[in-house]
Amino acid sequence: MKVAIITISDRSYRGEREDKSGPALSEFIKANLDVDELQMKIIPDEKSYIIRTLKLFCNNHFDLIITTGGTGVTTRDVTPEATLEVIEKRLWGFEEIMRIKSYEKTPNGIISRGVAGVCKKTLIMNLPGNPRGAVENLSFVLPAIPHTIAKIHDDPSEPGESS
C-alpha cells in the first residue's frame, strides 16, 4: 500500500511550529497497515495548494491519502472544501463514525468537518490537526481501510475472503 500523509498548517509550513500530527500518524499507520511506501508533506492552508497536492498524489497512484489539519471552523480551515473538489465519490460512513466517536471523547469533536472519499483509485481522508485526535480518528475507521482500498481497485472478494 502506498500512503501519503499531508499536514496542512500555515505555521508548520513556515517552520514556526513542529509538525507532530504527521509523525504520529506515520508511526500509527506503519504499526497497523501493510505499507510499502509512505511519504509525508507539509503544506499551507491554501485551497488551491491542497487541491494540487491531493491530485498529485492521486495521479501518482497512492492508495491512501491522509490529511491532518484544516478541518475546523476558522477562516483558514479549508481542507474539506478542497477535498470535495477532488473526490469523485464521498464516503459518508467514514465521516459519520469519526465525528460520532470523537464526540464521545470530547464535545468539541462535533465541529470537525473532515470529509472522506475516493479520487480515481485513492482513498482520501481528512483528519484533525491535533496529533491525538488525528490518530484516534484514524483508529476509528482503520478496520475498514484495507477492504475499502481493495474495493476501489475492483477486488471482487467479500470481506474475510482471500482475493
User: For all residues of the chain together, what is the average pLDDT?
Assistant: 96
Q: Give Rg (Cα) of the chain.
A: 15
Q: 46-56: per-residue pLDDT in tens?
A: 999 999 999 99
Q: pTM value?
A: 0.95
Q: 10-64: per-residue pLDDT in tens?
A: 999 999 999 999 999 999 999 999 999 999 999 999 999 999 999 999 999 999 9
> Which pLDDT score is estimated for 156?
85
Chosen CATH of 2-6+19-152 out of 3.40.50.150, 3.40.50.720, 3.30.2320.80, 3.40.980.10 = 3.40.980.10
Q: Give residue for cell 497512484.
A: 61
Neighbours of 160 (CB within 10 A): 6
Domain ranges of the chain: 2-6+19-152
Residue 131 CA to residue 118 CA, distance in Å, equals 24
Bridge pairing between strands 116-119 and 89-90: antiparallel
pLDDT for residue 129 is more than 90:
yes
Contact 71, 113 (CB under 8 A): yes
